[in-house]
Amino acid sequence: MTDARDTDLKKELDATLHARRELGPEYESELADSFVEKIDQRIDGAVERRLRRSLAEQQMQVARGARGARGGGTDSWGERFGFGIVSLVLAIPLSAIGGGIAHLPGLVTAWVGIVGVNMAQAVRLNPGLFRRGDHGHED
């Protein structure tokens, strides 16, 4: 599949260079912008596929952990730390994609999602976390 995309990109470059020769240097900037936009779309697609794959793998690990945990209390510091690290690592491309496509609203949406996922994880690990009068303290 990568070879087909590479072939398509090479064809696009060849067509852009051919158009530049025919149209002349006055259209060079527009042709270059158009080609760069196609490369940006291809990169965005690759990042999006990787993010979806990574999130699916993370969900599978969480699901396996939930199935393997009998009786609760099996959460470890390493699991929480790992979830936080993965969340922050994924926040970088999500922020770039959201901000690049929809600017500030896209960036805000991406971070609302990131915070939401982390809050859901926190509630999963500490069911009484947001209950009134219970501040998560165990006496």
Residue-wise pLDDT for 12-56, tens only, equals 888 988 888 888 888 888 888 888 888 888 888 888 888 888 888
pLDDT score of 135: 53
Percent of the chain with pLDDT over 90: 6
Domain ranges of the chain: 1-54, 75-139
Distances from the Cα of 13 to the Cα of 26, 30, 42, 114, angstroms: 18, 13, 14, 37
What is the pLDDT at residue 71? 45
pTM of the model: 0.42
Rounded CA separation 105/107 (Å): 5
pLDDT at 139: 46
Higher pLDDT, 14 or 5: 14
The more confidently predicted of residues 69 and 86 is 86
Q: How far is CA 115 from the centre of its chain?
A: 14
pLDDT value of position 2? 61
Q: pLDDT tens-digit profile of 93-135?
A: 888 888 888 999 999 999 999 999 988 888 888 888 777 765 5
Nearest C-alpha neighbor of 121 from the set 67, 65, 57, 54: 65
Query: Residue 133: what pLDDT?
Result: 61
pLDDT for residue 31: 85
Would you place residue 70 in the very low, low, confident or very high pLDDT band (cuts 50, 70, 90)? very low
